[in-house]
Amino acid sequence: MDDNEDWEPKTALGRMVKAGEITNMKDVFNSNLPLIESNIVDALLPDLEEEVINISLVQRMHKSGRRVRFRATVAIGNNNGYIGIGKAVAKEVGPAIRKSIRVAKLNITEISRGCGSWECTCGKEHSLPFKVTGRSGSVKVTLMPAPRGLGLAIGEVSKKILKLAGVKDVWSRTSGKTQTTVNTAKATFDAIKSTSLMKLTDKQAAVFSAKKRESEVKE
């Protein structure tokens, strides 16, 4: 937020955020205006956390000799439904990470969480509302709702993405070259991102509403 004190917005969306006309990310997405200023995300989601997923060397031959660059892949999230992932290249590691963080902020999305497991009736937003699948390269990641307290039954790379998104319990199934860190992270991101794109059926919505009412009664 300190960096935002001297921020001079360059877009209509940025000016609306700066003026207090837009106060949350939901309104940003509903505005249908392009998100091209990372300061907007800084202003509306000040509690974002960052996780460096991968740092790799990129070498290219040029007429002046071999050029070496660093490629950084970073994930960001607020542990409460918002997640983004970004990749960037720079001459040094630090600038590459900072550039990828900015890209991740511009790629941020809101996911849907829920209690979609038939084994659980808590009605809390601890897992996913339904099964989702994501792909990147040869990697395929399928995430399935799990009962509360199970934890994240998935590899370490995907676990980092899910934690940043605020998902606490999940079953999973993966295939392909899962040792490819970046593709695994991107496939996981692709999977949870789809939760906000898919609509619940009337039956699913009724089940989730019933679980939520049961949870409220117990409390």
| Cα–Cα dist 47/43, whole Å | 10
| Cα–Cα dist 37/48, whole Å | 16
Task: Look at residue 93 and tell me if it is in a domain.
Answer: no
Task: Look at residue 166 and tell me if it is in a domain.
Answer: yes
17-52 pLDDT per residue, tens: 999 999 999 999 999 999 999 999 999 999 999 999
Task: Look at residue 79 and tell me if it is in a domain.
Answer: no
Count the neighbouring beta carbons within 10 Å of the beta carbon of residue 206: 11
CA angle 137/52/59 to nearest 5° reads: 65
167-212 pLDDT per residue, tens: 999 999 999 987 789 999 999 999 999 998 765 555 555 555 555 5
Nearby residues of 136 by Cβ (< 8 Å), 6 or more positions away: 182, 183, 184, 186, 187, 190
* Chain centre to alpha carbon of residue 73: 13
Q: Which domain holds residue 204?
A: 132-218
CATH number at residue 182: 3.30.230.10
Task: Look at residue 8 and tell me if it is in a domain.
Answer: yes
pTM equals 0.84
- Count of the separate structural domains present in the chain: 2
